[in-house]
Amino acid sequence: MTTFLDIHSTNAQLNFAELCTTANINNDTLLEFVRHDIAIPIAGAQPQQWLFHVTCVAKVKKAARLYRDLDIEWADLNLVLNLLDEIDQLKNENDELKQQLARLG
């Protein structure tokens, strides 16, 4: 089956309930994620009004998996996620520099 899609989804926004459904987490978990800066609303003062950028879905899902699987405490979760991101970033930079170095060699 072939479906044609034309979605500029990178700018999409999700409300509280949509983010819970998309990431398959319950309300309390998302509240904890917001409390620990893992998910940061881009608008809204109250949870009912919160809006999240769609790009945070990946981070929220990853946080939920790490919390579930590795018994990481709420307070440590954001640190772990940031360190994992930093490792990825450094690895990418390292790969790019190695490639450039190989071209100059």
Partner 1 sequence: MEFIDYYSVLGVDPTADDKTIKTAYRKLGRKYHPDVSKLPDTAEKFKRVAEAYEVLHSAEKRAEYDALCAARSSGFDRQTGHAKGGFYDESNAASNQDFADFFNAIFGEAGSRHRQQHRQHPGYDHSNQRKGADIELDWPIMLEDTLADTIKQIEFVISINDQQGYPQQVKKSLKVKIPAGIRDGERIRLKGQGTPAAGNMPAGDVYLTIRLLPHPLFDVETDNLVLTLPLAPWEAALGSKITLPTLSGKIQLAIPANSQAGQRLRLKGKGLVGKKSTGDLIVILKIVMPPTLNDSSTALWQQLAESVSFDPRREWSS
Nearer to partner 1 by Cβ, of 25 and 41: the residue is 25
Least distance from partner 1 to the Cβ atom of residue 69, Å: 6
3-state SS assignment for residue 73: coil
Report the chain's C-alpha Rg in angstroms.
Answer: 18
Least distance from partner 1 to the Cβ atom of residue 26, Å: 5
Q: Given the rule CB under 8 A, which residues bind partner 1? A: 1-10, 12, 20-22, 24-26, 28-29, 54-55, 57-58, 61-62, 64-71, 84, 91-92, 96, 99-100, 103-104
Q: Are 67 and 27 in contact (CB under 8 A)?
A: no
Show Cβ contacts of residue 85 under 8 Å, excluding neighbours closer than 6 positions: none
Q: Are 54 and 10 in contact (CB under 8 A)?
A: yes
Least distance from partner 1 to the Cβ atom of residue 88, Å: 8
